[in-house]
Amino acid sequence: MPRLNALAAALCALTLSTAALAGRPLQTEDAGVLDRGACELEGAQQRLRVLGETGTKNGLTANCGVGWSSQLGLGLAWARAGGDRSRSGGLGGKTALWAGEGDGAPALTLAWGVGADRDGGHWRRSDHFATLVASVGAGPGTVHLNLGHVREREARRTLTTWNLAWEYDGLAIGGLMLAPMGEVFGDDHGDRWWNLAVRLTVVPDRVFFDLSYGRQIRAEKARLVTAGFKLTF
């Protein structure tokens, strides 16, 4: 039972914002906001291994630009840890606060979200968060910084979260674009993680596939593998 509890807790902590925002394949959010009328559909599977036990979470998220420098998103996720299954959902969005001019210019955005779990045939709020997101060009890529506040309802605890990521602009390979990236992230109640990822652009500005692999630096030394896709229209 302790192993399954650790697995469920780690899976939950890694996916608080999955139902609302689109930062894949990173856990770090970027400051970009969709234009009005532009939409994204994302799907992903996360596979987490902790203390010899494995849990999976599958999610599907839709985000659309709504104007006023903002976007809104809805998502659903299905998780399995041991013999337990659960469903969760969320509503979230981003609003651009400030952006410089030109490619690679600094940008500042506020991201927020509210999550809910399906319990006993009813949905109930599970958490909410607000994150300040900054992105700035750095060499042949972009650095993303996150500083967030999370309130978990069932655990009755508040977390301060942080993320630091670097995303490469991309390498042209046989007509495709390959963008490697990496990050470190954590919170004030747990241990740090590192994560390496890659995004493959199949159709420019339309179809993307991605993979990532991450490890917890200390504690249970959990391992996280994810695979996903994104369609824009």
Q: What is the pLDDT of residues 134-173, one digit of tens each?
A: 999 998 999 999 999 999 888 888 999 999 999 999 999 8
Segment 31-76, tens digit of pLDDT: 999 999 999 999 999 998 888 888 898 989 999 999 999 999 999 9
* 159's tokens: 């977390």
* Contacting residues for 156 by C-beta, under 8 A, at least 6 apart: none
Which domains are delineated in the chain? 2-232 (2.40.160.40)
Contact between 31 and 134 (Cβ < 8 Å)? yes
Mean predicted lDDT score pLDDT of the chain:
88
Of residues 115 and 196, more confidence is placed in: 196
17 has pLDDT over 50: no
Mean pLDDT of 99-128: 89
Mean pLDDT of 90-106: 92
* Contacting residues for 52 by C-beta, under 8 A, at least 6 apart: 3
pTM of the model: 0.91
pLDDT for the residue numbered 153: 86
Under the banding of pLDDT at 50, 70 and 90, the label for residue 99 is very high
